[in-house]
Amino acid sequence: MLDVRGLKKVYNGGARQVEAIRDLTFTLSAGELVCLVGPSGCGKTTLLKCVAGLLTPTSGEVLLQGRPVTGPPPGMAVVFQEYGRSLFPWLRVGENVDLPLRQKGLPKARRRELVTEALAAVGLADAESAYPWQLSGGMQQRVAIARAVAFEPEVLLMDEPFAAVDAQTRADLEDLVRALWHKLGVTILFVTHDIDEAVYLGQRVLILSSSPTVVREELTVDLPDTRDQLHTRGHPRFTALRTHVQEQIQAAKRGLPSPSAAGDGEE
Amino acid sequence: MTLIERTSGGGQTAAPASGDARRGRRRGSAAWLGLAGLGTLLAVMEIVPRVGLVSSKYFPPTSRIAEALAAEVTDQAFWVALGDTLKGWALGLLIATVAGAALGVLIGAVPLLREYTASTIEFLRPIPSVALIPLAVLLFGTDIRSTLLLVVYASFWQVLVQVLYGVQDVDPVADETARSYGLSTIARVRYVLWPTALPYVMTGVRLAAAVALVLAITAELVIGAPGLGARIAVAQTSNAVPDMYALVTVTGLLGVLVNLGARAVERRTLAWHQSVRGEVAA
C-alpha cells in the first residue's frame, strides 16, 4: 500500500547542509495502523511531509499503491498538529470539511452526505455552522479529522495530531482514531513523540533513531485489538512494550547502536 | 472596538477581554466627551470673531458659516458639485482597488515578480500625486479624468502595498493543508491567499478612501475640474468667505463619512478575523 524506500532528505541552508533523514525504508500494508516514534528533532515531520508529497526527498522514493509520490496524491489526507492554523478561520466548520470535496468535483448531494456523516462520526453533528475558532482545541482537531475522513482517503497521515490538546481530550481523540480506523478500514500512519500513545494506538510501532534518521526498530504491538484507556494501559504487556520503546528512544538519544537481532524486540 | 492599523503588516493583536458593560459605558462617556469638545470648538469659533480677536472678514463666526451652509444645500449647483466629487472619488477608488488587488496578488504570489518589481514600487510609490498635476492638465485639461488620474495614482499604492503584505502573511500550515487536499494554484489563491490578504486589503482600501478624497478635492481646487473643490475656489475668488468655510466643512464631513463607511464594511467582511471578533476562545 505505502512503500517508503531509501528515503533521504538533506536541507541546504546556504553553506550548511543538514541531513534530516539518512535512509528510511518501511512498508504499510492496506488497512494497517502504524505509529512512528522517535526522539525529538529526529525528522518525523520531514518524513511525513515527504510521504505526503509536500516535500521532495533528496533521494529514495515513496510509493502509494505502486505509484511514485511526486506531489500530494489524491488518495491521501493529512491531519496536522496545528489544527488552529490548518483549519481556515474564514470558513465555517461545514465549509472547511466541504472544501476538499468541492475540489474533488463531487456532486453537491454527495458532498452534503459526506460532510454530515464525517461530522457525525467525530461527534460534531451540530457544529456545522460554527466557525472553528468558536470551538475548543479538541473540537477543532475533531473538525480537522472530519475533513480528512470526508475526503475518503486510502491513507491517512497524522502528524502529532494530539500534541497540543490536554490529556483527557487526547485520550478521547485516541479512541476516536481507533474507532474510525475500525469503521473505515483506512491505512493510517500516525506520527507521535508520545510513547504511550504509539503503543496504545498502533498495530506496529516504528522506532526512529536520532538525526540523521534511520528506522531503529520495527515493533509489533501484540495487544488485543479491542483497546480501552483503562484496561489496555494497565495491561502488563502494554507496560512491557512501552518500557521497551522508552529504552530504545533513550538509547537512540545517546546514539547507541540498535539491537542487531531486532526480533520481536522485548528485552 | 476599532480595527487595528496594520500599515506595516505586522502581527495581529486580539483585543484585551474586558466586560462588555464596562466597555460600553466607557465608549458612551467618550462619545459625550467628544461631542462636548466639538461643541466647545464651535463656541470658541463663534465668540472669537465676535469679540474682535480675529477679523470676522476672514474668520466668520460659526453661525454665519451655518447660514451659508443652509443656503448651499438648497442650491442645485451644490449637489451637482458634490456628485462630481463623489463620482471622481468612487470611480478612482474602484479602479485603484481593483488594479491594486489584482496586481498585488499576482506580484505577491510570484516571488520572482516580487523581487523584480520591488525597487520600482519603492521608487514610484513616494512620488506625491500632486506632482502629477501638470501632467494631468496636459493630458486631460479640466476634465474629470484629471481628477481620476490623481486619485487613482494616490490610492493605488495604498492598496497595492497592503495587498503585498497580506499575500506574504499566508500561514504555511494552511497552505500545506490546501496543497495536501489537492487544491490547484487558482483554488489556493481563491480559498487561502485571498482570505488571508483580505484584512490587509480592507486596511488598504480604508487608507486609500481617505487619500482619494484628499486628491479629488485637490484636483478640483487646483486644476478646476468640476466638484466641491472647484466650488471652494469660486467662493474664494468671489469673496464669499462664509460659503468657502461651509464647503470646507462639507469636505470634512465627507471624510468622516468615508471613514465610518469603510470601517463598517471592514467589520462586516472580516467578522471571522481576530481584530473584529475580539477575544479568542480557547
- Which CATH number fits the domain that encloses residue B136? 1.10.3720.10
| Interface residue ranges in chain B relative to chain A, Cβ cutoff 8 Å | 171, 173-174, 176-177, 179-184, 187, 191-192, 195, 198, 272-273, 277, 280-282
Q: Does A100 touch chain B (CB under 8 A)?
A: yes
User: Binning pLDDT at 50, 70 and 90, where does residue A223 land?
Assistant: confident
**Share above pLDDT 70 across residues of chain A, in percent, rounded to a whole number:** 96
Determine contact, residues A90/B174, Cβ cutoff 8 Å.
Answer: no
* pLDDT of A255 higher than 80: no
Q: For residue B215, what pLDDT is reported? A: 94
CA–CA dist B130, B211 (Å, integer): 12
Q: For residue A101, what pLDDT is reported? A: 93
**pTM of the predicted model as reported, rounded to 2 decimal places:** 0.80
* pLDDT of B111 higher than 50: yes
**Rounded average pLDDT over B106-130:** 90
Cα–Cα separations (whole angstroms), residue B183 to A74, B12, B54, B134 = 10, 27, 68, 49
User: Binning pLDDT at 50, 70 and 90, where does residue B202 land?
Assistant: very high
Q: Is B69 within the bounds of a domain?
A: yes
- Name the residue in chain B with its Cα closest to that of A147: B181
Q: Is B51 within the bounds of a domain?
A: no
Burial class of A112 by CB neighbour count within 10 A (0 to 12, 13 to 18, 19+): middle
B277 vs A contacts (CB less than 8 Å):
133
Determine contact, residues A51/A69, Cβ cutoff 8 Å.
Answer: yes
Q: Does A259 touch chain B (CB under 8 A)?
A: no
Q: For residue A259, what pLDDT is reported? A: 59
Determine contact, residues B252/B232, Cβ cutoff 8 Å.
Answer: no
Amino acid at site B249: T
* pLDDT of A260 higher than 70: no
B174/chain A closest Cα distance in angstroms:
5
Nearest beta carbon to residue A86 from set B177, B184, B277: B177
Under an 8 A CB cutoff, do A78 and B277 touch?
A: no
Q: For residue B242, what pLDDT is reported? A: 92
For chain B, the residue count is: 282
Domain of residue B90: give its range: 61-275
Instruction: Determine what percent of chain B falls in helix, strand and coil, rounding each to the nearest 5.
Output: 75, 0, 25
Under an 8 A CB cutoff, do A90 and B198 touch?
A: yes
A233/chain B closest Cα distance in angstroms:
29
Under an 8 A CB cutoff, do B282 and A76 touch?
A: no
Under an 8 A CB cutoff, do A86 and B195 touch?
A: no
Instruction: Centre a 10 Å sphere on the Cβ of residue A131 and count the other Cβ atoms it contains.
Output: 20
Q: Does A89 touch chain B (CB under 8 A)?
A: yes
Exposure string of B7-29, with b = 16+ CB inside 10 Å and e = fewer, is eebeeeeebeeeeeeeeeeeeee
**In which order are the strands placed within the sheet that holds A213-220?**
A67-68, A59-64, A2-13, A16-28, A213-220, A204-208, A33-37, A187-191, A155-159, A76-79
B272 vs A contacts (CB less than 8 Å):
89-90, 131, 133
Q: For residue A19, what pLDDT is reported? A: 83
Determine contact, residues A146/A124, Cβ cutoff 8 Å.
Answer: yes
Closest by CA position to A234, among listed A201, A196, A181: A196
Name which of A182-186, A229-233, B71-75 the model is least confident about.
A229-233
CA–CA dist A245, A251 (Å, integer): 10
Determine contact, residues A141/A162, Cβ cutoff 8 Å.
Answer: yes
Q: Is B190 within the bounds of a domain?
A: yes
| A7-11, A83-87, A258-262, B90-94: range with highest mean pLDDT | B90-94
Name which of A155-159, A185-189, A219-223, B192-196 the model is least confident about.
A219-223
Amino acid at site A158: M
Per the model's pLDDT, the better-predicted residue between A213 and B43 turns out to be B43
B110/chain A closest Cα distance in angstroms:
19
CA–CA dist B161, B121 (Å, integer): 9
Q: Which of B169, B170, B176, B270 to mutate to test the interface with A (most CBs of A within 10 A)?
A: B176
**Rounded average pLDDT over B223-238:** 93
CA–CA dist A232, A226 (Å, integer): 9
Determine contact, residues A105/A143, Cβ cutoff 8 Å.
Answer: no
CA–CA dist B118, A20 (Å, integer): 34
Closest by CA position to B101, among listed B173, B199, B171, B172: B199
User: Which residues are CB-neighbours of B87 under 8 A, at least 6 positions away?
Assistant: B144
Q: For residue B80, what pLDDT is reported? A: 95
CA–CA dist A217, A258 (Å, integer): 7
Under an 8 A CB cutoff, do B273 and A89 touch?
A: yes
The kind and range of the H/E element at A4 are strand A2-13
User: Binning pLDDT at 50, 70 and 90, where does residue B275 land?
Assistant: confident
CA–CA dist B172, A49 (Å, integer): 13
Q: How many CB pairs under 8 A join A and B?
A: 66
Average pLDDT of chain A to the nearest whole number: 87
* pLDDT of B259 higher than 60: yes
B27/chain A closest Cα distance in angstroms:
26
* pLDDT tens for each residue of B83-103: 999 999 999 999 999 999 999
* pLDDT tens for each residue of A115-153: 999 999 899 989 999 999 999 988 999 999 999 999 999
Q: For residue A231, what pLDDT is reported? A: 83
User: Which residues are CB-neighbours of A213 under 8 A, at least 6 positions away?
Assistant: A20, A21, A22, A24, A38, A42, A43, A47
Query: How many domains is chain B built from?
Result: 1
Q: Is B157 within the bounds of a domain?
A: yes
User: Binning pLDDT at 50, 70 and 90, where does residue B25 land?
Assistant: low
B181 vs A contacts (CB less than 8 Å):
72, 77, 99-100, 103, 147, 151
Residue the block writes with cell 502504524: A34
Q: Does A90 touch chain B (CB under 8 A)?
A: yes
**Rounded average pLDDT over A14-32:** 86
Q: For residue A163, what pLDDT is reported? A: 87
CA–CA dist A131, B138 (Å, integer): 54
The CATH classification of domain A2-75+153-254, taken from the options 1.10.150.570, 3.40.50.300, 3.40.50.150, 3.40.718.10: 3.40.50.300
Under an 8 A CB cutoff, do A85 and B179 touch?
A: no
Q: Is B6 within the bounds of a domain?
A: no
Under an 8 A CB cutoff, do B195 and A78 touch?
A: no
Instruction: Determine what percent of chain A falls in helix, strand and coil, rounding each to the nearest 5.
Output: 40, 25, 35
Q: Is B244 within the bounds of a domain?
A: yes
* pLDDT of A45 higher than 60: yes
Under an 8 A CB cutoff, do B195 and A74 touch?
A: no
A70/chain B closest Cα distance in angstroms:
12
* pLDDT of B28 higher than 80: no
Q: For residue B16, what pLDDT is reported? A: 43
**Rounded average pLDDT over B111-138:** 91
Q: How is chain A split into domains, by residue range? A: 2-75+153-254
Q: For residue B24, what pLDDT is reported? A: 60
Q: Running DSSP on this structure, what letter comes out for residue A264?
A: T
* pLDDT of B27 higher than 80: no
For chain A, the residue count is: 267
CA–CA dist B2, A202 (Å, integer): 50
Under an 8 A CB cutoff, do B281 and A136 touch?
A: yes
Nearest beta carbon to residue B174 from set A85, A103, A134: A85
User: Binning pLDDT at 50, 70 and 90, where does residue B23 land?
Assistant: low
Under an 8 A CB cutoff, do A135 and B277 touch?
A: no
Q: Does A241 touch chain B (CB under 8 A)?
A: no
Q: For residue B3, what pLDDT is reported? A: 41
* pLDDT tens for each residue of A151-164: 999 999 999 999 88
User: Binning pLDDT at 50, 70 and 90, where does residue B109 land?
Assistant: confident
**Rounded average pLDDT over A54-63:** 90
Q: How do strand A204-208 and strand A213-220 relate by DSSP bridges?
A: antiparallel
